[in-house]
Copies of this chain bind each other. A is one copy, B any other.
Amino acid sequence: MVMAMAAPHPDPLAGFPAGFLDGFTFREVAKGQLLATPGQALNQVFIVRSGRLRVYLASDARELSLAILEPGDIFTTHTPTFVRSLEPASLWLIGIREFGAKLAGAPGVAPLMMKVLGRILDNAVSLVEDLAFRDVPARLARFLVRQAARRGEQAAEGCLLPIDLGTEDIACLLGTTRQSVSSLINQWQREGVLSRRGRRALLIHDLPALAARSLMQG
């Protein structure tokens, strides 16, 4: 679900006309820095140059990630969400008003914007669907299946799949808890569906089984 956010191109600026960034201000941020909060007055649009940013909601007790922005992604501070850097990052900023003007001046960018916003919207809708219709096992299974489709490498015994997030972070993406994720992974491990490969990777043996699980009660 959320991973669909990743920029499809290795070059973050593919699609932008030359000189489009004139007038943007460049900014570098350290790891873990808060870039936007709900209800802030400042309305800006930004384009990610490097690093990953987490877009999330928070209540007193819990947090829920909506998306992870990667290089090339466009977003705005004018949303009721928090945005925080997961790692050192750099980005281009501009006022939302000026951005509108630039957009008018560079017609080719408008469809690109629509694509990006559409993708983010799809993402949010997908999250709603998950939260409303699917139980935790189905959500986790779907997450793994999508990860496998995006980042998995076909290996001899199955699909090798790097996981660069901790248990807690995954739980946060899926709107559940660390404990639930942990026990599910280990249950599936016992059932032979998958197994760990070191600290930061999984080996999926039975992708179809996962896919089936992800479709249940959906």
Hey, which bits of chain A sit against chain B, CB under 8 A?
A: 57, 59-62, 64, 66, 76, 78-81, 100, 103-105, 107-108, 110-111, 113-114, 117-118, 120-122, 124-129, 131-133, 175, 217-218
Contacts and interface: CB of A to CB of B under 8 A. Distances in A.
A150 to B, nearest CB: 18
Contacts of A217: 59-61
Contact of A110 (B66, B79, B100, B132): B100
B124 A79 contact: no
Contact of A100 (B78, B105, B111): B111
Nearest to A120: B121
8 contacts: A59-B218, A66-B125, A76-B118, A79-B122, A80-B125, A103-B111, A104-B110, A132-B175
B79 A129 contact: no
